[in-house]
Amino acid sequence: MQQSAADPLFSSVTDADVVARPTAVKPARLLSIDVLRGLTIAFMIVVNDQMGPAPFHQLSHAKWNGLTATDLVFPTFLFLVGLTTVLSTASRLARNASRREMFVHVVRRALLLILLGFVVNNFPFTHLANARYYGVLPRIGLCYFVAASVLLVSRSWKDKLAIAVVCLLGYWVLMRFVPVPGYGVPTHDVPINDFDGNLTAWLDRQIFSARHLYEKTRDPEGLLSTIPAIATTMFGMLAGMWVRSTATTGRKAAGLLGAGSLLIVLGAVWNVWFPVNKKLWTSSYTLVAAGISTVLLALAIQVIDRWRLGRKGNQGAEPSGDHASAYWPVLVLGTNAILAYLISELGATLLHVFHTGSGRPVGAVIGMAFFRWFSSPAIASLMYSLAFLLVCWLLTYPFYRKRIFLRI
């Protein structure tokens, strides 16, 4: 069954009271989205590649309950995955792609993300007996598959919101009421977010032995916590549907700001009973992180797309090899996010695998040089990660210049 351009995605009349009818033509690419994604990837590289034992607090994950700026990186990227899935799906349908063709593409892309995740996690020589199967890219692949599949089945915003609510409430019910073997009932025998005595960690230990788990007794990208991560992607899809509507740019920004603020408040309230925790991806954490991502998107749309600050005249927002706006350094990463991530992860691994003549890892030798230059360990760690970011940027730039974009 072919989808015509006259019957665009999300044009259901029943949704018109909340989401304005989108246009039938392909919408212009929003520069704000690429900029926000570029900033997210840049920050991800910085926080993933700290050197030494004492980085700045906000550049490290919270040890358990609580929240730092670093804990917002992954959910923001997942949020953007949901948002861009809406835009790319609408674009493909406008080009008369069949839903069967699109589903095949979704499956292929999800499997490729999972495969790339396995390569990144175990590069270069990990034996299968010690391989890690969970990870960032596998979680993105799973969340993308669910989100894109739902989008092909239904055009309504209501089912996306319903799925998000069911994921968050269902995850809370599992974590709150299901007894954890060997530990007891959460909130009665152990805290709901007990370090090892939570259902998420227990299930991961039943599936994999310690050598396959990132933290030995648990994994921050484990199976059960993927449920609320799907909700994060759904919130991104809802934002994408609103962004694609015919509402004015100012109204879009205002609507996102209001929705994001509401999510933050709801998450803060839920934190009392189900504490914010990135490693467990708790329901309260999902709401707060999605709320902040939504607010950041609203600000980006207001500043970049409405006020057009940093843009030259009426220059379009399509990614190009030239320097059409003041944001082009960020667009180098934002338009090639997966490539930049792969370069950073594989590059960081190589710095630890290859050794100097003295037998020390190359990365450690470079890092010690930074510690000699800066008296503060935190500043030295930051300078090392910024230098690493610059290297990743330089390796990605030629692809941007030649208009080569990795599309999985």
pLDDT tens profile 109-137: 999 999 999 999 998 877 888 899 999 99
pLDDT for res 8: 41
Residue 3 within a domain = no
Question: Which of 308-312, 349-353, 382-386 reaches the highest mean pLDDT?
Answer: 382-386
- Collapsing DSSP to helix, strand or coil, 269 comes out as helix
pLDDT for res 9: 45
Nearest CA to 41 among 406, 401, 307, 403? Answer: 406
pLDDT for res 114: 96
pLDDT for res 4: 38
Tell me the C-alpha distance between 408 and 84, whole Å. 13
Residue 346 within a domain = yes
124 cis-preceded (ω within 30 degrees of 0)? yes
Split at pLDDT 50, 70, 90, the class of 406 is confident
Nearest CA to 93 among 170, 148, 173, 132? Answer: 148
Say yes or no to pLDDT of 108 above 90. Answer: yes
Tell me the C-alpha distance between 54 and 41, whole Å. 22
* Mean of per-residue pLDDT scores for the chain: 88
DSSP summary character for residue 193 = T
Residue 321 within a domain = yes
Split at pLDDT 50, 70, 90, the class of 295 is very high
pLDDT for res 51: 79
pLDDT for res 194: 97
Instruction: Dump pLDDT digits (tens) for 321-369.
Output: 456 688 999 999 999 999 999 999 999 888 888 777 676 777 777 777 7
Say yes or no to pLDDT of 15 above 90. Answer: no
Split at pLDDT 50, 70, 90, the class of 408 is low
Residue 6 within a domain = no
pLDDT for res 28: 55
Residue 406 within a domain = no
Tell me the C-alpha distance between 241 and 21, whole Å. 10
pLDDT for res 325: 80
Residue 367 within a domain = yes
pLDDT for res 260: 98
Residue 1 within a domain = no
pLDDT for res 29: 67
DSSP 66-107: S--GGGGHHHHHHHHHHHHHHHHHHHHHHTT--HHHHHHHHH
Say yes or no to pLDDT of 300 above 80. Answer: yes
Say yes or no to pLDDT of 273 above 50. Answer: yes
DSSP 292-311: HHHHHHHHHIIIIIIS-TTB
Neighbours of 11 (CB within 10 A): 16
The proportion of the chain whose per-residue pLDDT surpasses 90, expressed as a percent, equals: 71
Residue 390 within a domain = yes
pLDDT for res 374: 81
Say yes or no to pLDDT of 2 above 60. Answer: no
Split at pLDDT 50, 70, 90, the class of 74 is very high
**pTM higher than the cut 0.75:** yes
Q: Which of residues 315 and 300 earns the better pLDDT score? A: 300
How many independent structural domains does the chain possess? 1
pLDDT for res 14: 35
Say yes or no to pLDDT of 318 above 70. Answer: no
- Token pair 């090639």 is at which residue? 336
pLDDT for res 317: 46
Instruction: Dump pLDDT digits (tens) for 35-47.
Output: 999 999 999 999 9
**Contact 114/141 with Cβ under 8 angstroms?**
yes
| Mean predicted confidence (pLDDT) in 91-98 | 88
Say yes or no to pLDDT of 95 above 80. Answer: yes
Neighbours of 121 (CB within 10 A): 21
- Provide the domain limits for residue 103: 13-401
| Mean predicted confidence (pLDDT) in 302-320 | 73
Say yes or no to pLDDT of 22 above 50. Answer: no
